[in-house]
Amino acid sequence: MSIEIVGNGMMARAASVMRANLPVTIFASGVSNSNEKDVSAYRREINLLERSISDNALFVYFSSYLAEDGDSKYARHKRNVETIVKQTATRYIILRLPQVVGITGNNTLMNYFVKAITREEPVLLQKHAYRSLIDVVDVMRVLQLLIDKNDINLTLAVGPEQPINVIEIFKLVEEAIGCLTRYKEIDTGSKQFANLSELKKILGNKDVLFDDQYQKRVIEKYAMELFHLNQINFQNQKNASAKNTKIQKLFSDKLEGEL
């Protein structure tokens, strides 16, 4: 049977390997920046989501750990969308996720760190912030298992067992790339976590997600590739800027010659 994927970003690309015996709609679009303040961005996601839900397809929505009890605009939006899915979709799976890591140009935590290291820019790190990282491949692995088991109409937190201090995450990224950049600690931050008891029942306690070194391996898997992609993007931006400066100078010189 067909799987419809709504979106074209990292999650959508990863979902392209999914398979199912019944119709499935995987909603991999919408607001990905947890600091988003633009109300219209949230409204666009809801409009697209409501158009994407059908009576006969299993509907998959990627939510966030923040939906549990977060008070930000993003967290409240995620809770609202979860409610819409539960009230509208006949069959659904909602996965609450931490920081998803993969190849993307979006401003994820990992990509933010890599981008700063690439450009040798200073980074502000919240001293008391803890975050969990999950490989996008493992998100799809868990989703595939749920689809295969027809384990539906559930909201499931999916991630590793222990969150990591963001300063440690940053240093692991530096170590994986082999480059250092300046950072400043600020005396703030929160600890994001989720109840993983249901996930452990499904996967078992020995799943790779619960290995102590899992998040370090995820960083090592993606850090260098993200670094090289950021190097290319940064160089392209510098080339474009230099070209624009040259054009502006030529235009200015031409005007001066005509005066």
Residue at 206 is within a domain: yes
Name the strand (E) or helix (H) holding 178. Answer: none
**Of 20, 90, 95, 3, the residue nearest 55 (C-alpha):** 90
Question: What pLDDT, on a 0 to 100 scale, did the predictor assign at position 31?
Answer: 87
User: Is it the case that residue 250 has pLDDT exceeding 90?
Assistant: no
Does any domain span residue 190? Answer: yes
Give the Cα separation of 184 and 228 in Å (integer): 25
Q: Which amino acid is at 79?
A: R
On whether residue 168 sits in a domain, the answer given is yes
26-40, 122-136, 151-165, 172-186: lowest mean pLDDT where?
A: 26-40
Instruction: State how many domains the chain has.
Output: 1
Q: What are the tokens at 13?
A: 């690309």
- Only one residue has tokens 């119709």, namely 23
Rounded Cα distance between 234 and 118, Å, is 8
Q: Give the CATH number for residue 191.
A: 3.40.50.720
**Can you tell me the distance from the alpha carbon of 47 to that of 118, in angstroms, rounded to the nearest whole number?**
37
Using 50, 70 and 90 to split pLDDT, how confident is the model at 61? Answer: very high
Best CA proximity match to 156, nearest among 137, 136, 139, 133: 139
In a domain, 188, yes or no: yes
For the stretch 115-160, pLDDT in tens is: 999 989 999 999 999 999 999 999 999 999 999 999 999 999 999 9
Could you tell me the two tokens for 194? Answer: 């989720």
pLDDT (tens digit, 9 = 90+) per residue, 67-115? 998 889 999 999 999 999 999 999 999 999 999 999 988 888 999 999 9
Q: CB-based burial of residue 244 (10 Å sphere; 0-12 exposed, 13-18 middle, 19+ buried)?
A: exposed
In a domain, 257, yes or no: no
With respect to residue 258, please indicate whether it lies within any of the assigned structural domains: no
Give the chain's radius of gyration (CA, Å): 21
Burial classification of residue 122, based on how many CB atoms lie within 10 Å of its CB (0-12 exposed, 13-18 middle, 19 or more buried): exposed
- Is position 259 within any domain? no
Buried b (16+ CB within 10 A) or exposed e, 81-117: bbeebeeebebbbbbbbbbbbbebeeebbbbebbbbb
Domain of 246? Answer: 3-252
- In a domain, residue 244? The reply is yes
Specify the pTM.
0.88
List the structure tokens of 203: 């996967």
